[in-house]
Amino acid sequence: MRLTVFGTGYLGATHAACMAELGHDVLGVDVDPDKIAALRAGRVPFYEPGLEELLAKHTASGRLRFTTSYEEAAAFGRVHFVCVGTPQRKDSDAADLRHVDAVVDGLRAHLGDAPALVVGKSTVPVGTAERLAERLEGKAELAWNPEFLREGFAVQDTLRPDRLVLGVRSEPAEALLREVYAPVIDAGTPVVTADFPTAELVKTAANAFLATKISFINAMAEVCEATGADVSVLARAIGHDERIGSRFLRAGIGFGGGCLPKDIRAFAARAEELGTGRSLAFLREVDAINLRRRERTVELSRELCGGSLEGKRVAVLGAAFKPDSDDIRDSPALDIACRIHLQGAEVTVFDPEAMDNARKAYPALGYAVSAPDAVRGADLVLHLTEWPQFGALDPAELAAATARPRIIDGRGFLDGARWAAAGWEFHALGRPAQPRQERP
């Protein structure tokens, strides 16, 4: 089938390459000519495991092409996916839908008389699909097919998703989407058919639940710090309850990225617009708990440095908001690094993939070529992005390079006993400190 994908950012580029992998002829569309030029050359402008290989494979075969022309795109395919971003508005917590509206209006202006299906994948406030369907009336039918991609696993989540949600109003629209996703459905992926409002709410509700679970265990970390309890043991104990489960119960500096924070804020803002603000008022506290963990990390850093960060050398391991990504949008790691820098510390950052993005966005920070280089002469080390490479570091080797082997594990990821045995003073949020053990 011939498909178009509007928007070639994180969602769109991934969707386009994966649709080509499923056997479709795909045309990616973007208004940014530099981005299109890079994609035509087989280069992905961000880091996502497995994506560059798919892109190169299908641009070489001719199954995947890119353009800046809406006219070409409208004539190319029968199914048009809308995959542009919906960032937080600068003047409120609400979602900025300008890019979504621009795609729909631009596409509508070039659609002919042939049947067409426009499929929204962008995360939008409930009610958006109804409004867009009215704008497309007489030109194309609308469907809503929310995405559930995890950065670092986006290719896997597209080719082998845990569910497909099809927001449709007609049997032909559902049949067409089932044809698009036939290889995925045949592999056993569950399909949920829904109306527009439900399809829109699935993504925002899922993000709200995930954010709540993460903030819950971080709230428990606050209580554990006040009482001397260990949040890691607490999480393990309650995680055995099958009604709760253990996933995303690791306390730390909280969530970030370009989706979760802005999506829960937009959800709460939309609830206010609908007159049901009280139903999602708890999301404001979820957001506040999340941000407090960053503040607590800075506070703990200051405490460990004798009450002042002025003139201290602090190493930060991690810049991306999560591992297997170079995305620094709302990165807790860089937020903490900047706050510590503003308190007078000399901060040096290392990340396996996000260094270029971090340097461009935060040029006042220092940057190292490796983790050992970052910790050299450090008075304090902060582990803030849980890259597997950091878990595999030799703590004894790193200890010898520091001015003082003292670390805060902001992700609850490192083996505290191993680091303490290697001579480190080990701290983690919500857990009792592990004093350094003198090595024989």
Which residues does the annotation mark as catalytic?
259
| Nearest residue to 264 (alpha-carbon basis) of 400, 440, 93 | 93
- Residue 375 to residue 233: CA distance in whole angstroms: 29
Pick from 260, 316, 318, 308: nearest CA to 286: 260
Six token digits for residue 127: 């009610």
Instruction: Report which residue type is found at 303.
Output: E
Query: Which residues neighbour 29 within 8 Å (Cβ) at sequence distance 6 or greater?
Result: 4, 5, 6, 7, 8, 66, 67, 68, 69, 70, 73
Sign of the torsion angle spanned by Cα atoms 113, 13, 255, 215: positive
| H-helix or E-strand spanning residue 404 | none
Strand partners, 27: 4, 65
Q: What are residue 314's DSSP bridge partners? A: 347, 380
Burial class (CB in 10 A: 0-12, 13-18, 19+), 191: middle
From first CA to last CA, the distance across the chain in angstroms is 68
CA-CA distances (angstroms) from residue 375 to 88, 144, 307, 332? 35, 48, 21, 19
Q: Where are the alpha helices (DSSP H) in 5-78?
A: 10-21, 33-40, 51-61, 70-76
Helix or strand run (H / E) with residue 178:
helix 171-180
The SS3 of residue 166 is strand
- CA separation for the pair 411, 394 (Å, rounded): 18
